[in-house]
Amino acid sequence: MSKTVLATAGRSLLALYFLLPGVLKFFAWDTHVALMEKHGMMLIPFFLAAAGIVQIICSLGLLLNCYTQWFALTLALMVLAINFQLHDFWNYTDIEGAHEMQNFVKNLGIFAGLLVLSAYSWKDRDQQQT
């Protein structure tokens, strides 16, 4: 399998990982509001709408391989912010804490993948300009 096929598949799967939840933020609004309230967030309607819009726009950019380095970095920063705000395993002592820790670690892997995607997109962009 070629490097291009693998890179395209990985980029597309990362995009889908964000596209579907981005759309669902608007179709399951109350569920997301309840989750954010549970974690003591403020300005919930603003942050929820912003998160959905960012996820949709950035994932479409990744799917189209357009401004990949910027969209991947944006999603990486978003994952990091969400990880510390919504997957606060250190505040739980029961099974919910274990579940939140699993999500936290999983998101670190996604964060790492987005950083790698961004780095290689910069590299490809720099090579095309020379």
Q: Is residue 26 part of a domain?
A: yes
CB 33 within 8 A of CB 43: no
Residue type, 5: V
Q: Which domain holds residue 45?
A: 3-124
Residues contacting 105, CB < 8 A, separation 6+: none
Number of domains in the chain: 1
Residue 130 lies in a domain: no
Domain membership flag for residue 15: yes
Has residue 25 been placed in a domain? yes
Please give the model's pTM, rounded to 2 decimal places. Answer: 0.89
Per-residue pLDDT of the chain (130 residues; tens, 9 = 90+): 788 899 999 999 999 999 999 999 999 999 999 999 998 999 999 999 999 999 999 999 999 999 999 999 999 999 999 999 998 889 888 998 899 999 999 999 999 999 999 998 876 665 666 5
CA–CA separation, 93 and 124 (whole Å): 45
Name every residue whose Cβ is closer than 8 Å to that of residue 98 and which is 6 or more positions away in sequence. 89
129 within some domain? no
